[in-house]
Structure 1
């Protein structure tokens, strides 16, 4: 039976510590590759109760919060023309729909 020595020598310990210290000084790679998100939207299913009570007012409030992209999950008995008008009035668009 062969006995293995799992202890760490002084030189190896110092070398490993030096590598760890040097690595911690490098900027994270995720920051180097981060891109700015141009458009953030809102999935309107999260506001379905509010929309059913006050459709136009809820979308106006969402626009005040800074959202410009909407994903509808139902149209609350509104025609496409009515939806488009409310979106245009609030400077919004709807590039996606929940089906």
Structure 2
């Protein structure tokens, strides 16, 4: 498995860098690293919205697909979704996502 570097930018601007294995979800990496705002209360079942992130413009092109189905439905209930908002539980890391940078909009 490939190692992938991901960066979480906290609401206060702090940057947290992690190395993760291909196949992990971004939520799993954030929870394991105690990233503020990545709660994942549903354990990755796409039913709570507590792992919202904003994917940087450049990286949005590298994601496989847009938010759809359950993810899009859940994001609809949040008023403050800037462009690029996704659920970290729905982003499965792959080599093409190496150096992914996301912002965590909540604490």
Same fold at TM > 0.5? no
Per the shorter chain, which TM-score range?
A: under 0.3
> Which protein is bigger by CA-based radius of gyration?
1
Q: Whose helix proportion is higher, 1 or 2?
A: 1
Which of the pair has the greater relative contact order for Cα pairs under 8 Å at 6+ separation?
2
Q: Whose strand proportion is higher, 1 or 2?
A: 2
Q: Provide the TM-score with structure 1 as the length reference.
A: 0.26
Q: Provide the TM-score with structure 2 as the length reference.
A: 0.24
